Amino acid sequence: MTRLTCATGNAGKLREFRMAAGSADLDLELLANYKALPEAIEDGATFEENAIKKALHYSPHADGLLFADDSGLAVDALGGAPGVYSARYSGPGATDASNNALLLRNLHGIANRTARFVCAIALVEGARVIGVYHGAVEGALLEEPRGNGGFGYDPLFFCPAFGCTFGEATAEQKLSLSHRGQAFRAMLAALRK
């Protein structure tokens, strides 16, 4: 069974990765001592750059394969913001609630609500980058949150294929279509080659 270490401080991401690994017969574990390690500096201009920076930052603390996810929401009417700043959109101490509130304020009165979630997963072993895997999913932002599932911007993100938000979809549904599900499956396919 392939063993993979995941480096993330985001409980929502970890839940989704655990679910994806469970159905793929993979042994996935969170990097031990993740919280005690200094945080990776995410100063890249792209999701891909930041995913690689994160994975290489944490890999010296893992045996074997390690991956990190950099992801976020790109809103067309905001020129692609919050993008790589999605986690800290509303500044220091940002929470999902404060980020969602700021997003709604910035979109107030704007008719074009199209947006996409984007994910890059970097897989490394020691200092070697094995690959970077991508996913993206299109949707539109509602004017108020709906549903308590998922995390982050999920309650605002209306997914046309489901006819509901990612916050209302089941975890399995979200993973079947999401940016993270796509990127994770691309990584699995590469590992199985």
Cite the active site residues. 70
Alpha helices in the chain (DSSP H): 11-22, 47-58, 96-106, 171-177, 179-191
What spatial distance separates the first Cα and last Cα of the chain, rounded to whole Å? 15
Question: Among 5, 62, 66, 69, which residue interacts with ligand ITT (rule: CB under 6 A)?
Answer: 69
Applying CB under 6 A, does 87 fall inside the site for ligand ITT? yes
Question: Among 59, 71, 90, 165, which residue interacts with ligand ITT (rule: CB under 6 A)?
Answer: 71
Residue pair 7/58 in contact by the 8 Å Cβ criterion: yes
Applying CB under 6 A, does 100 fall inside the site for ligand ITT? no
Nearer to ligand ITT, 26 or 57 (CB): 57
Instruction: Classify 129 as helix, strand or coil.
Output: strand
To the nearest whole angstrom, how small is the minimum distance from the Cβ of residue 192 to ligand ITT? 24
Applying CB under 6 A, does 151 fall inside the site for ligand ITT? yes
Applying CB under 6 A, does 72 fall inside the site for ligand ITT? yes
Amino acid at 105: R
Q: How far is 174 from 113, CA to CA, in rounded Å?
A: 20
Smallest CA-to-CA distance from 31 within 1, 2, 68 is with 68
Nearer to ligand ITT, 1 or 36 (CB): 36
Question: Among 70, 74, 103, 132, which residue interacts with ligand ITT (rule: CB under 6 A)?
Answer: 70
Applying CB under 6 A, does 154 fall inside the site for ligand ITT? yes
Interface pattern 26-45 for ligand ITT (x via CB under 6 A): ----------------x---
Question: Among 52, 115, 139, 180, which residue interacts with ligand ITT (rule: CB under 6 A)?
Answer: 180
Smallest CA-to-CA distance from 48 within 122, 114, 105, 98 is with 122
To the nearest whole angstrom, how small is the minimum distance from the Cβ of residue 10 to ligand ITT? 3
| Six token digits for residue 175 | 């993973």
- The residue written with tokens 């220091």 in the block is 92
Q: How far is 34 from 190, CA to CA, in rounded Å?
A: 26
Instruction: Provide the binding-site residues for ligand ITT, judged by CB under 6 A.
Output: 8-10, 13, 42, 54, 69-73, 86-87, 99, 117, 150-154, 166, 178, 180
